Amino acid sequence: MGNSAAKSLDPFKKFEYLLLLSLLAGLYLTTHVNYLLFHTLSEFFSIVVAAAFFMITWNSKQYIKNQYLLFIGIAYLFIAFLDLLHTLSYKGMPVFTDYDYYANQLWIGARYMESITLVAAFYFLKQNKEYPPEVLFMGYLFLTGLVVASIFYWKIFPVCFVEGTGLTPFKKISEYIICLILVLGLFLLSKNKARFEPNIFQFLVLSMICTIISELAFTFYVSNYGFSNLVGHYFKLFSFYLIYKAIIESGIRRPYDLVFKELDTTNINLSREIEARVKSEKEREKLIVKLQKALIDVKTLSGLLPICAHCKNIRDDKGYWTQLESYLDHHADVRFSHGICPDCMKKYYPGYSGGSDE
Protein backbone atom coordinates (compact mmCIF):
# COMPACT_ATOMS: atom_id res chain seq x y z
CA MET A 1 0.00 0.00 0.00
CA GLY A 2 2.78 2.44 0.94
CA ASN A 3 4.75 1.83 -2.28
CA SER A 4 1.66 2.18 -4.48
CA ALA A 5 0.73 5.42 -2.73
CA ALA A 6 4.23 6.77 -3.30
CA LYS A 7 4.07 5.82 -6.97
CA SER A 8 0.70 7.54 -7.34
CA LEU A 9 2.26 10.75 -6.03
CA ASP A 10 5.13 10.66 -8.53
CA PRO A 11 3.15 12.26 -11.40
CA PHE A 12 2.21 15.18 -9.14
CA LYS A 13 5.83 15.65 -8.14
CA LYS A 14 6.90 15.50 -11.76
CA PHE A 15 4.24 18.05 -12.68
CA GLU A 16 5.44 20.33 -9.88
CA TYR A 17 9.05 20.16 -11.05
CA LEU A 18 8.04 20.62 -14.67
CA LEU A 19 5.97 23.66 -13.76
CA LEU A 20 8.87 25.08 -11.74
CA LEU A 21 11.31 24.63 -14.64
CA SER A 22 8.82 26.22 -17.04
CA LEU A 23 8.42 29.24 -14.75
CA LEU A 24 12.17 29.63 -14.39
CA ALA A 25 12.61 29.43 -18.17
CA GLY A 26 9.79 31.90 -18.72
CA LEU A 27 11.29 34.20 -16.14
CA TYR A 28 14.61 34.09 -17.96
CA LEU A 29 12.93 34.97 -21.26
CA THR A 30 11.59 38.16 -19.66
CA THR A 31 15.20 39.38 -19.39
CA HIS A 32 15.29 39.61 -23.21
CA VAL A 33 12.16 41.73 -23.18
CA ASN A 34 12.86 43.94 -20.16
CA TYR A 35 15.29 43.14 -17.32
CA LEU A 36 13.27 45.37 -15.03
CA LEU A 37 10.30 43.05 -15.53
CA PHE A 38 12.43 40.02 -14.57
CA HIS A 39 13.69 41.80 -11.47
CA THR A 40 10.20 42.87 -10.39
CA LEU A 41 8.68 39.41 -10.84
CA SER A 42 11.50 37.61 -8.99
CA GLU A 43 11.47 40.11 -6.11
CA PHE A 44 7.69 40.03 -5.76
CA PHE A 45 7.81 36.24 -5.41
CA SER A 46 10.18 36.52 -2.42
CA ILE A 47 8.07 39.34 -0.95
CA VAL A 48 4.88 37.27 -1.17
CA VAL A 49 6.60 34.23 0.37
CA ALA A 50 8.03 36.28 3.24
CA ALA A 51 4.67 37.95 3.92
CA ALA A 52 2.89 34.57 3.89
CA PHE A 53 5.55 33.20 6.26
CA PHE A 54 4.73 36.03 8.66
CA MET A 55 0.97 35.47 8.43
CA ILE A 56 1.26 31.75 9.23
CA THR A 57 3.55 32.25 12.22
CA TRP A 58 1.67 35.29 13.54
CA ASN A 59 -1.70 33.53 13.43
CA SER A 60 -0.17 30.44 15.08
CA LYS A 61 1.79 32.31 17.75
CA GLN A 62 -0.39 30.90 20.54
CA TYR A 63 0.64 27.36 19.61
CA ILE A 64 4.19 27.61 18.24
CA LYS A 65 6.61 26.61 20.97
CA ASN A 66 9.66 26.83 18.69
CA GLN A 67 10.80 30.40 19.37
CA TYR A 68 13.22 30.24 16.42
CA LEU A 69 10.40 29.90 13.88
CA LEU A 70 8.29 32.52 15.63
CA PHE A 71 11.18 34.99 15.73
CA ILE A 72 12.17 34.69 12.07
CA GLY A 73 8.50 34.57 11.02
CA ILE A 74 7.98 38.05 12.51
CA ALA A 75 11.28 39.32 11.11
CA TYR A 76 10.49 38.23 7.56
CA LEU A 77 7.61 40.70 7.35
CA PHE A 78 10.06 43.57 7.72
CA ILE A 79 12.58 41.90 5.41
CA ALA A 80 9.77 41.70 2.85
CA PHE A 81 9.05 45.41 3.37
CA LEU A 82 12.70 46.35 2.70
CA ASP A 83 12.68 44.08 -0.37
CA LEU A 84 9.52 45.86 -1.56
CA LEU A 85 11.26 49.24 -1.25
CA HIS A 86 14.28 47.72 -3.00
CA THR A 87 12.04 46.67 -5.91
CA LEU A 88 10.29 50.04 -6.15
CA SER A 89 13.58 51.95 -6.04
CA TYR A 90 15.40 49.79 -8.59
CA LYS A 91 16.98 51.74 -11.42
CA GLY A 92 14.34 52.34 -14.06
CA MET A 93 11.33 52.24 -11.72
CA PRO A 94 9.48 55.59 -11.80
CA VAL A 95 9.04 55.87 -8.03
CA PHE A 96 12.18 57.25 -6.35
CA THR A 97 13.72 59.40 -9.09
CA ASP A 98 16.13 61.58 -7.07
CA TYR A 99 18.74 58.81 -6.79
CA ASP A 100 19.21 55.63 -8.86
CA TYR A 101 20.93 53.45 -6.28
CA TYR A 102 18.67 53.34 -3.25
CA ALA A 103 17.99 49.73 -4.27
CA ASN A 104 21.58 48.64 -3.55
CA GLN A 105 21.48 50.18 -0.08
CA LEU A 106 18.11 48.65 0.69
CA TRP A 107 19.39 45.29 -0.52
CA ILE A 108 22.32 45.38 1.93
CA GLY A 109 20.05 46.56 4.75
CA ALA A 110 17.56 43.72 4.10
CA ARG A 111 20.28 41.06 3.81
CA TYR A 112 21.97 42.19 7.03
CA MET A 113 18.60 42.01 8.78
CA GLU A 114 17.89 38.57 7.31
CA SER A 115 21.27 37.00 8.15
CA ILE A 116 21.51 38.47 11.66
CA THR A 117 17.93 37.35 12.33
CA LEU A 118 18.74 33.75 11.34
CA VAL A 119 21.59 33.73 13.88
CA ALA A 120 19.99 35.80 16.66
CA ALA A 121 16.92 33.54 16.60
CA PHE A 122 18.97 30.76 18.20
CA TYR A 123 19.34 32.89 21.33
CA PHE A 124 15.58 32.75 21.80
CA LEU A 125 15.57 29.03 21.02
CA LYS A 126 18.17 28.27 23.73
CA GLN A 127 16.54 30.50 26.34
CA ASN A 128 13.66 28.01 26.40
CA LYS A 129 11.22 30.75 27.39
CA GLU A 130 8.52 32.53 25.47
CA TYR A 131 8.81 36.20 24.51
CA PRO A 132 5.77 38.35 23.69
CA PRO A 133 5.41 38.42 19.88
CA GLU A 134 4.17 42.00 20.10
CA VAL A 135 7.47 43.09 21.65
CA LEU A 136 9.44 41.39 18.85
CA PHE A 137 7.17 43.04 16.28
CA MET A 138 7.70 46.53 17.73
CA GLY A 139 11.46 45.93 17.96
CA TYR A 140 11.69 45.06 14.26
CA LEU A 141 9.41 47.95 13.38
CA PHE A 142 11.85 50.29 15.12
CA LEU A 143 14.93 48.78 13.45
CA THR A 144 13.30 48.89 10.00
CA GLY A 145 12.39 52.52 10.56
CA LEU A 146 16.03 53.32 11.36
CA VAL A 147 17.25 51.59 8.16
CA VAL A 148 14.70 53.38 5.96
CA ALA A 149 15.37 56.76 7.58
CA SER A 150 19.15 56.35 7.21
CA ILE A 151 18.69 55.78 3.45
CA PHE A 152 15.86 58.09 2.42
CA TYR A 153 15.81 60.84 5.08
CA TRP A 154 19.18 61.25 6.79
CA LYS A 155 21.05 59.78 3.76
CA ILE A 156 23.85 58.48 5.99
CA PHE A 157 23.75 54.86 4.80
CA PRO A 158 27.06 54.06 3.03
CA VAL A 159 27.07 54.22 -0.77
CA CYS A 160 26.94 50.75 -2.34
CA PHE A 161 27.17 51.39 -6.08
CA VAL A 162 28.89 53.95 -8.28
CA GLU A 163 27.85 54.32 -11.92
CA GLY A 164 30.61 53.22 -14.28
CA THR A 165 32.74 51.82 -11.44
CA GLY A 166 30.39 49.25 -9.94
CA LEU A 167 30.21 48.06 -6.37
CA THR A 168 31.88 50.01 -3.58
CA PRO A 169 34.24 48.29 -1.09
CA PHE A 170 31.52 48.65 1.57
CA LYS A 171 29.06 46.68 -0.57
CA LYS A 172 31.54 43.88 -1.34
CA ILE A 173 32.79 43.57 2.25
CA SER A 174 29.20 43.58 3.49
CA GLU A 175 28.29 40.71 1.16
CA TYR A 176 31.20 38.63 2.54
CA ILE A 177 30.25 39.48 6.13
CA ILE A 178 26.65 38.44 5.42
CA CYS A 179 27.92 35.12 4.00
CA LEU A 180 29.97 34.49 7.16
CA ILE A 181 26.94 35.25 9.33
CA LEU A 182 24.89 32.78 7.28
CA VAL A 183 27.60 30.12 7.67
CA LEU A 184 27.37 30.64 11.43
CA GLY A 185 23.59 30.28 11.10
CA LEU A 186 24.07 26.95 9.29
CA PHE A 187 26.33 25.72 12.08
CA LEU A 188 23.84 26.70 14.78
CA LEU A 189 20.98 25.18 12.80
CA SER A 190 22.81 21.83 12.57
CA LYS A 191 23.49 21.95 16.33
CA ASN A 192 19.76 22.30 16.97
CA LYS A 193 18.61 19.80 14.34
CA ALA A 194 16.48 17.85 16.84
CA ARG A 195 14.27 20.89 17.44
CA PHE A 196 12.93 20.84 13.86
CA GLU A 197 10.84 18.45 11.81
CA PRO A 198 13.31 16.74 9.35
CA ASN A 199 11.83 18.19 6.14
CA ILE A 200 11.71 21.71 7.56
CA PHE A 201 15.32 21.39 8.73
CA GLN A 202 16.54 20.25 5.30
CA PHE A 203 14.71 23.03 3.47
CA LEU A 204 16.05 25.67 5.88
CA VAL A 205 19.61 24.43 5.34
CA LEU A 206 19.25 24.48 1.55
CA SER A 207 17.65 27.92 1.72
CA MET A 208 20.63 29.31 3.66
CA ILE A 209 23.07 27.75 1.18
CA CYS A 210 21.23 29.34 -1.76
CA THR A 211 21.27 32.70 0.03
CA ILE A 212 25.05 32.42 0.50
CA ILE A 213 25.52 31.69 -3.23
CA SER A 214 23.24 34.60 -4.04
CA GLU A 215 25.27 36.99 -1.89
CA LEU A 216 28.55 35.83 -3.46
CA ALA A 217 27.11 36.42 -6.93
CA PHE A 218 26.25 39.99 -5.96
CA THR A 219 29.92 40.74 -5.24
CA PHE A 220 30.88 40.58 -8.93
CA TYR A 221 28.44 42.63 -10.97
CA VAL A 222 29.32 46.05 -12.41
CA SER A 223 25.86 46.69 -13.85
CA ASN A 224 22.43 46.44 -12.23
CA TYR A 225 21.35 44.58 -15.36
CA GLY A 226 24.39 42.26 -15.63
CA PHE A 227 24.67 38.46 -15.67
CA SER A 228 26.01 38.25 -12.09
CA ASN A 229 22.99 40.21 -10.94
CA LEU A 230 20.78 37.75 -12.80
CA VAL A 231 22.43 34.74 -11.11
CA GLY A 232 22.13 36.38 -7.70
CA HIS A 233 18.41 36.94 -8.14
CA TYR A 234 17.87 33.38 -9.33
CA PHE A 235 19.50 31.96 -6.22
CA LYS A 236 17.52 34.34 -4.05
CA LEU A 237 14.45 32.98 -5.82
CA PHE A 238 15.58 29.42 -4.98
CA SER A 239 16.19 30.43 -1.36
CA PHE A 240 12.68 31.79 -0.91
CA TYR A 241 11.16 28.85 -2.78
CA LEU A 242 12.78 26.57 -0.20
CA ILE A 243 11.39 28.79 2.57
CA TYR A 244 8.01 28.32 0.88
CA LYS A 245 8.49 24.53 0.91
CA ALA A 246 9.66 24.52 4.52
CA ILE A 247 7.19 26.84 6.15
CA ILE A 248 4.24 27.78 3.96
CA GLU A 249 3.58 24.42 2.31
CA SER A 250 4.15 22.58 5.61
CA GLY A 251 2.02 25.13 7.42
CA ILE A 252 -0.89 24.52 5.05
CA ARG A 253 -0.59 20.80 4.23
CA ARG A 254 0.92 19.52 7.48
CA PRO A 255 0.40 22.26 10.07
CA TYR A 256 1.20 19.91 12.95
CA ASP A 257 4.78 19.56 11.64
CA LEU A 258 5.29 23.30 11.99
CA VAL A 259 3.08 24.26 14.89
CA PHE A 260 3.14 21.17 17.08
CA LYS A 261 6.67 19.82 16.57
CA GLU A 262 7.88 21.33 19.84
CA LEU A 263 4.66 20.29 21.59
CA ASP A 264 5.06 16.71 20.37
CA THR A 265 8.64 16.66 21.67
CA THR A 266 7.45 17.98 25.02
CA ASN A 267 4.71 15.35 25.20
CA ILE A 268 7.18 12.56 24.42
CA ASN A 269 9.53 13.77 27.15
CA LEU A 270 6.61 14.08 29.55
CA SER A 271 5.46 10.52 28.77
CA ARG A 272 8.96 9.23 29.44
CA GLU A 273 9.05 11.14 32.71
CA ILE A 274 5.68 9.68 33.73
CA GLU A 275 6.88 6.14 32.90
CA ALA A 276 10.03 6.67 34.97
CA ARG A 277 8.00 7.97 37.91
CA VAL A 278 5.51 5.08 37.71
CA LYS A 279 8.41 2.61 37.71
CA SER A 280 9.99 4.41 40.66
CA GLU A 281 6.66 4.38 42.49
CA LYS A 282 6.27 0.62 41.98
CA GLU A 283 9.77 0.01 43.30
CA ARG A 284 9.01 2.21 46.29
CA GLU A 285 5.82 0.25 46.99
CA LYS A 286 7.77 -3.03 46.89
CA LEU A 287 10.29 -1.60 49.34
CA ILE A 288 7.49 -0.47 51.64
CA VAL A 289 6.01 -3.99 51.60
CA LYS A 290 9.39 -5.47 52.53
CA LEU A 291 9.86 -2.97 55.32
CA GLN A 292 6.36 -3.63 56.63
CA LYS A 293 7.05 -7.37 56.65
CA ALA A 294 10.31 -6.79 58.48
CA LEU A 295 8.50 -4.56 60.97
CA ILE A 296 5.92 -7.30 61.58
CA ASP A 297 8.73 -9.79 62.22
CA VAL A 298 10.36 -7.39 64.65
CA LYS A 299 7.08 -6.75 66.43
CA THR A 300 6.64 -10.51 66.82
CA LEU A 301 9.58 -10.56 69.22
CA SER A 302 8.66 -7.36 71.04
CA GLY A 303 6.75 -7.10 74.31
CA LEU A 304 6.54 -9.81 77.09
CA LEU A 305 7.46 -13.41 76.29
CA PRO A 306 5.95 -16.09 78.65
CA ILE A 307 8.96 -18.28 79.45
CA CYS A 308 9.22 -21.20 81.90
CA ALA A 309 11.41 -20.35 84.87
CA HIS A 310 12.86 -23.91 84.93
CA CYS A 311 13.05 -25.42 81.43
CA LYS A 312 13.07 -22.06 79.59
CA ASN A 313 10.37 -23.15 77.12
CA ILE A 314 8.26 -20.34 75.65
CA ARG A 315 4.49 -20.23 75.37
CA ASP A 316 3.25 -19.09 71.93
CA ASP A 317 0.06 -17.19 71.01
CA LYS A 318 -1.89 -20.45 70.79
CA GLY A 319 -0.94 -21.57 74.31
CA TYR A 320 1.60 -24.23 73.28
CA TRP A 321 4.95 -24.49 74.99
CA THR A 322 7.92 -24.79 72.66
CA GLN A 323 11.66 -24.79 73.08
CA LEU A 324 13.42 -21.46 72.92
CA GLU A 325 15.34 -22.52 69.80
CA SER A 326 12.18 -23.62 68.01
CA TYR A 327 10.33 -20.42 68.90
CA LEU A 328 13.10 -18.11 67.70
CA ASP A 329 13.62 -20.20 64.60
CA HIS A 330 9.95 -19.72 63.70
CA HIS A 331 9.55 -16.06 64.67
CA ALA A 332 12.92 -14.61 63.74
CA ASP A 333 15.38 -14.99 60.91
CA VAL A 334 17.98 -16.87 62.99
CA ARG A 335 19.52 -20.33 62.97
CA PHE A 336 21.09 -22.08 65.95
CA SER A 337 24.47 -23.77 66.21
CA HIS A 338 24.78 -25.68 69.51
CA GLY A 339 27.88 -25.81 71.66
CA ILE A 340 28.88 -26.04 75.38
CA CYS A 341 29.97 -23.09 77.45
CA PRO A 342 33.00 -23.42 79.84
CA ASP A 343 30.84 -23.46 82.98
CA CYS A 344 28.65 -26.30 81.68
CA MET A 345 31.74 -28.16 80.52
CA LYS A 346 33.09 -28.10 84.09
CA LYS A 347 29.72 -29.01 85.58
CA TYR A 348 28.65 -31.81 83.24
CA TYR A 349 31.94 -33.01 81.78
CA PRO A 350 34.56 -32.42 84.47
CA GLY A 351 36.79 -35.17 83.05
CA TYR A 352 37.13 -33.33 79.73
CA SER A 353 37.60 -29.82 80.97
CA GLY A 354 41.27 -30.22 81.80
CA GLY A 355 40.93 -27.48 84.36
CA SER A 356 40.81 -24.83 81.66
CA ASP A 357 38.05 -22.58 80.42
CA GLU A 358 38.14 -23.99 76.90
> Which residues sit opposite 314 in a β-bridge?
307, 322
Closest CA to 185 of 112, 119, 113: 119
Do the Cβ atoms of 236 and 83 come closer than 8 Å?
A: no
- Polymer length in residues for the chain: 358
Q: Does pLDDT of 15 surpass 50? A: yes
pTM above 0.95, yes or no: no
Using one digit for the tens of pLDDT, what is the confidence trace for 158-191? 999 888 788 899 999 999 999 999 999 999 999 9
Percent of the chain whose pLDDT exceeds 70? 81
Helix (H) or strand (E) holding 167: strand 166-167
Q: Could you give the CA distance from residue 300 to residue 282 in angstroms, rounded to a whole number?
A: 27
Least confident of 6-20, 162-176, 192-206: 6-20
Residues 6+ positions from 160 with CB-CB distance below 8 Å: 101, 104, 105, 107, 108, 167, 168, 170, 171, 174
* Mean pLDDT on 189-198: 85
Domains and CATH numbers, the chain: 12-265 (1.20.1070), 300-358 (no CATH)
DSSP 80: H
Using one digit for the tens of pLDDT, what is the confidence trace for 297-335? 655 555 566 778 777 777 777 777 887 777 776 766 666
Phi, psi angles (nearest 5°) of residue 321:
-95, 125
Higher pLDDT, 263 or 70: 70
Neighbours of 3 (CB within 10 A): 7
